[in-house]
Amino acid sequence: MPVATGEHMANRVMFKQFLQHDALQVAQIDATRVAGVNENVAILLLAAKFGVPVCPHAGGVGLCEAVQHLAMFDLVAVSGSADGRVIEFVDHLHEHFVTPVEVRDGRYRAPTAPGAGTEMLPSSLAAHTVGVRV
């Protein structure tokens, strides 16, 4: 039974250790858990070196919007294949984002807008900001 894990790993070092010991067969990166895009790219490259598919975790607010870019980068620049790859999708709260993720026929559509896709609408931020003092 393949083990999919990684959504709680904090950095590429942890992924490297798990990969070296064959402790995971599917790497689940979390776009916001590690230190940004560069760290996620390092993890994608490590997974490719070990022949492990990457299936991003996207169950939280804005994670679908964030991981679509990482999965696209993996497809185009690292693995060159969608074989054995999926992206988690949770269909809620997308209406709070300027450029929400688009899924059609069970597949993420390639993002066309610049940026990370995680910019929230000012109206959503205002509606959900409570008791914040600057």
Domain 4-127, CATH 3.20.20.120 — does that match?
A: yes
CA distance 63 to 74: 16
Q: Spell out the domain ranges in the chain.
A: 4-127
pLDDT tens-digit series, residues 35-65: 889 999 999 999 999 999 999 998 788 899 9
Return the pLDDT at 29: 92
* Secondary structure string (H, E, C) spanning 83-108: CCCCCCCCCCCHHHECCCCCEECCEE
Contacts (Cβ under 8 Å, ≥6 apart) of 108: 64, 68, 71, 72, 87, 89, 101, 102
Q: What is the pTM of this model?
A: 0.86
